[in-house]
């Protein structure tokens, strides 16, 4: 086994590799860009090396700097994770030339599967079924259009390089072929620097089912069963599961045998995934699946396989790269239970899944797994970390495992409902809606499911009055109530003749909300919503809701939905109101801690007049305009929200 490895990646996959390396007693070296200087993977590793500015082209794609870091730190091997340089055969050659070991397949294997058309021709020779289509080198439009007619519409135009849905167009009619081809070529050229395409038969109800394979350097190859990745938006996976729902023994046997055959055809070593497209229009049948492509690396969704087989795939990667044989033979690998993985992203599902940025001011995952289930949280961020525009906006992967699909799906829903993220727009509500979708729950899925149901899946109901009341309560910071709290900075503090109350203003979208929060003698809080409601609507809350306060905002969690309200600065509002009046009112309940002026004084705009202590903080109240003070509050006075603190003789001086 290696003594030290370098991880040429970042985020959750770097943290994932570090955990297994630590278990095996292998020391780790992290690499990081400017944006990742304080990242979790840097903190977890034994050593860390800075490799450049934040853009990936200046850091995580700089193979020369990564190799130099490995040599400088005495690392024996490089683990590429996924993405970045993980499937770059030139990088593999450079690693090997430097006397280091690449923890993954050979450069030759990667090249063999790197281009979709060449890979499919290779699979045809190996006897692996491929989608009917044209995978040749000629790219003349007349030839491609002719091949499309021969295949039969609808057809799919696909870029021969890359993935992620880029350079892909469905064409339903011959008249649309030319325009679709031009669009696919432009997109492929921009994304991959290669505008060549292939043309395939479009499968009407396609399922995306992939098989995890693993090979060693002694010619051994095994499969670790299948994963279903049909739940996709924009050709990108959202929720993966294993085993595939509706899988028959005949199809599993045919598909896994084809996957092993494909890996052996290129003398594959390491972790890899053979992806198949399956026609689900008439259930799953053994003669209705075709090779799509091979990912010559560890997949993002590999925890699904680990959960249903009990195998640590990263450990296998390290052992095989270190020269060991596969730890298990095929007959020793068993399938047990069902697992789901949900990808939690910083993105706005309602706006076409537009990536989002922001600071994760609040990040909380379930402390314990749901009943009758196991759970894993794979993440590379912590509360306080920023979601950078430079990298993939994944926050975490939520993985659950249970005895059967129904139980596992229920566990996924419960875990999503207990996940809290504030500070950035996230997709947890969308994931929960998908997990609750009737077709998804029934296992009636295909790659078009999300597209067909998208409007319903991304719709979020407006916050209930209860959620608004909870936001108002959270905005008052009433959670400070208790024996250890300052009684004057809490709604539960002492008041001789009346209950202390605080008026709170919130904003949700375009809606302005006014609420009045007070503490009852029995320990409950009463929240009266005064606007925009026609009548006062009172709510009694015994304890603080699931919520998070962050600069200028409060987020209330109802299930997997996080409702974020803007909380205007009360002092700013007070200044604005006072600037147009002859009096200055308290923006919140508090204690007049210090008075710096007296009746009869002439003051100028911005001059400090008194200090109000509220919410455990001191707030300076300044003159909103020039004038002469007629009255001013007494030092030591306890005031309520709206109490006149200063009255002026003149509105302007």
Catalytic residues: 297
Element holding 515 (H helix, E strand): strand 511-519
Tokens of 431: 């994931």
Q: How many CB atoms lie within 10 A of CB 94?
A: 19
Residue 95: left (phi > 0), alpha (psi -120 to 50), or beta?
Answer: alpha
Cα–Cα distance, 570 to 549 (Å, whole number): 15
Q: How many CB atoms lie within 10 A of CB 21?
A: 24
How many CA atoms, within 13 angstroms, populate the side-chain half-sphere of residue 560?
24
Tokens of 337: 């239970």
Cα–Cα distance, 605 to 622 (Å, whole number): 7
Residues 6+ apart with CB under 8 A from 532: 511, 512, 513
Cα–Cα distance, 451 to 433 (Å, whole number): 13
Distance between the two ends of the chain, CA-based, in angstroms? 82
Sign, Cα dihedral of 204, 438, 212, 157: positive
- Residues paired with residue 374 on neighbouring β-strands, in sequence order: 401
- Give Cα separations from 24 to 4, 18, 45, 398 (angstroms): 11, 10, 14, 24
Residues 6+ apart with CB under 8 A from 602: 626, 627, 628, 629, 653
Tokens of 583: 């009096």
For the beta sheet containing 197-201, the strands, ordered from the edge strand earlier in sequence to the opposite edge, are: 133-134, 197-201, 155-159, 168-171
- Give Cα separations from 589 to 119, 373, 436, 517, 581 (angstroms): 71, 47, 44, 11, 20
Cα–Cα distance, 207 to 290 (Å, whole number): 11
Cα–Cα distance, 328 to 375 (Å, whole number): 25
């Amino acid at each position: 086994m290696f003594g030290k490895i370098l991880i040429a990646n970042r985020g959750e996959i770097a943290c994932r590799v570090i955990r297994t390396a630590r278990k095996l007693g292998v020391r780790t070296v992290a690499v990081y860009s400017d944006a990742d200087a304080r990242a979790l993977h840097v903190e977890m590793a034994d050593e860390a090396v800075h490799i450049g500015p934040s853009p990936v082209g200046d850091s995580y794609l700089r193979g020369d700097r990564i190799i130099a870091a490995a040599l400088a730190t005495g690392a024996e091997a490089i683990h590429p994770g996924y993405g970045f340089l993980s499937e770059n055969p030139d990088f593999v050659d450079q690693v090997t030339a430097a006397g280091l070991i690449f923890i993954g397949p050979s450069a030759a294997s990667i090249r063999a599967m790197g281009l979709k058309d060449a890979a499919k021709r290779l699979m045809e020779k190996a006897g692996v079924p491929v989608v009917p289509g044209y995978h040749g080198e000629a790219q003349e439009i007349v030839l491609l259009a002719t091949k499309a007619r021969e295949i039969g519409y609808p057809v799919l135009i696909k870029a021969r390089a890359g993935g992620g849905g880029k350079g892909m167009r469905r064409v339903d009619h011959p008249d649309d072929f030319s325009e679709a081809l031009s669009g696919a070529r432009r997109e492929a050229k921009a994304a991959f620097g290669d505008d060549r395409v292939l043309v395939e038969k479009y499968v009407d109800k396609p399922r995306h089912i992939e098989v995890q394979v693993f090979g060693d350097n002694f010619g051994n190859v095994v499969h670790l069963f299948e994963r279903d990745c049909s739940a996709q938006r924009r050709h990108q996976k959202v929720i993966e599961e294993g085993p595939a729902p509706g899988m028959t023994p005949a199809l599993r046997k045919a598909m896994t045998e084809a996957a092993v055959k494909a890996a052996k055809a290129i003398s594959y070593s390491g972790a890899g995934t053979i992806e198949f497209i399956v026609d689900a229009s008439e259930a799953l049948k053994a003669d209705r699946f075709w090779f799509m492509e091979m990912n010559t690396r560890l997949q993002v969704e590999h925890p699904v396989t680990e959960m249903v087989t009990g195998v640590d795939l990263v450990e296998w990667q390290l052992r095989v790269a270190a020269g060991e044989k596969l730890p298990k033979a095929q007959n020793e690998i068993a399938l047990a239970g069902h697992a789901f993985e949900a990808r939690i992203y910083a993105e706005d599902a309602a706006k076409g899944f537009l990536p989002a940025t922001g600071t994760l001011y609040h990040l909380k995952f379930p402390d314990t797994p749901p009943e009758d289930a196991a759970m894993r949280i794979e993440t590379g961020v912590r509360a306080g970390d920023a979601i950078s525009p430079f990298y993939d906006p994944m926050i975490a992967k939520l993985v659950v495992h249970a005895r059967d699909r129904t139980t596992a799906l229920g566990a996924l829903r419960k875990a999503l409902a207990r996940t809290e993220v504030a500070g950035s727009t996230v997709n947890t509500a969308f994931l929960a809606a998908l997990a609750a979708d009737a077709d998804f729950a029934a296992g009636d899925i295909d790659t078009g499911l999300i597209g067909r149901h998208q409007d319903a899946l991304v719709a979020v109901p407006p916050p209930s009055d209860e959620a608004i009341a909870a936001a108002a309560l959270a905005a008052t910071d009433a959670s400070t109530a208790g024996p250890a709290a300052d009684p004057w900075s809490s709604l539960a503090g002492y008041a001789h003749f009346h209950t202390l109350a605080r008026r709170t203003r919130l904003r949700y979208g375009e809606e302005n909300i006014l609420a009045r929060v007070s503490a009852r003698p029995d320990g409950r809080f009463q929240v009266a919503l005064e606007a925009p409601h026609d009548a006062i609507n009172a709510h009694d809350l015994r304890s603080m809701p699931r919520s998070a306060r962050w600069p200028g905002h409060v987020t209330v969690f109802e299930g997997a939905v996080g409702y974020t309200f803007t909380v205007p600065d009360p002092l700013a509002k007070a200044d604005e109101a006072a600037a147009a009046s002859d009096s200055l009112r308290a923006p919140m309940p508090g204690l007049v801690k210090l008075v710096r002026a007296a009746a009869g004084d002439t003051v100028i705009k911005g001059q400090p007049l008194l200090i109000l202590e509220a919410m455990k903080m001191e707030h300076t109240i300044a003159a909103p305009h020039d004038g002469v003070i007629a009255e001013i509050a007494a030092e030591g006075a306890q005031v309520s929200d709206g109490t006149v603190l200063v009255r002026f003789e003149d509105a302007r001086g």
